[in-house]
A and B are shown apart, each in its own frame.
Chain A
Amino acid sequence: AQSVTQLGSHVSVSEGALVLLRCNYSSSVPPYLFWYVQYPNQGLQLLLKYTTGATLVKGINGFEAEFKKSETSFHLTKPSAHMSDAAEYFCAVRLSNFGNEKLTFGTGTRLTIIP
């Protein structure tokens, strides 16, 4: 079984400030972890993913996330926020065992950028 907790349903940061969106997971086997972004009236777009290998993963638009097994976390960061980053962000987990295709999503974090 797997689950995801996203701390903070709404996060506001000033333009140019650090973005930190928190995600903690639980998983019965080693997880695959994902961050998706959803802009208004658009579909989910994959930002980045961790499957195996390097625990610090870089994604599109300057975002990155670090898999920390000891903390069961996969927090999303960006050094300097842009106005265009305003959107809803979803963390998701999937079990890595063969045949398990189900993504389990968190409830999302709405990111607002203050000019």
Chain B
Amino acid sequence: GAGVSQTPSNKVTEKGKYVELRCDPISGHTALYWYRQSLGQGPEFLIYFQGTGAADDSGLPNDRFFAVRPEGSVSTLKIQRTERGDSAVYLCASSPKGDNTEAFFGQGTRLTVV
């Protein structure tokens, strides 16, 4: 595709459930980033992949959050035992190399935990 694609665009889940959010980066982009944007806030860094490996996961808030990128392309952000505080827009971005000077963002997945 032409841009970063995130699915689903909206997800409503019950407290305590497990969710997966998917990101398809721009073809050929080696770097992939996840951010979380809460209402009224700027995006907050979660994790960064260079290829298949997580180069920096310092932003993951706790061990309920996990992300994978097994083939160096598509990435999945996984949230276990969801809590109401996890409600936010989850943004994915990719860049053609690891210097992050040209990061392209997807439209995000709006997660609502009820």
Tell me the A residues contacting B by CB distance below 8 Å.
4, 9, 32, 36, 41-46, 49, 51, 90, 92, 94, 99, 101-108
Contacts and interface: CB of A to CB of B under 8 A. Distances in A.
Contacts, number: 61
Given A41-B107, A94-B100, A105 B44 contact: yes
A72 B4 CA distance: 32
A103 B103 contact: yes
B100 A103 contact: yes
Contacts of B93: 44
B41 A107 contact: yes
Q: Number of contact residues on B: which range applies?
A: 20 to 34
Contacts of B48: 101-102
A44 B33 contact: no
Interface string B1-35: 00110000000000000000000000000010101
Contacts of B59: 102
Contact of B40 (A41, A49, A107): A107
Contact of A103 (B4, B40, B45): B45
Interface of B: 3-4, 31, 33, 35, 40-45, 48, 50, 55-56, 58-59, 91, 93, 98-108
B82 to A, nearest CB: 23
A102 B101 contact: no
A88 B73 CA distance: 30
A43 B105 CA distance: 6
Given A101-B31, A101-B98, A43 B91 contact: yes
B107 A43 contact: yes
Contacts of B55: 99, 101
6 contacts: A36-B105, A43-B105, A101-B98, A103-B33, A105-B35, A107-B41
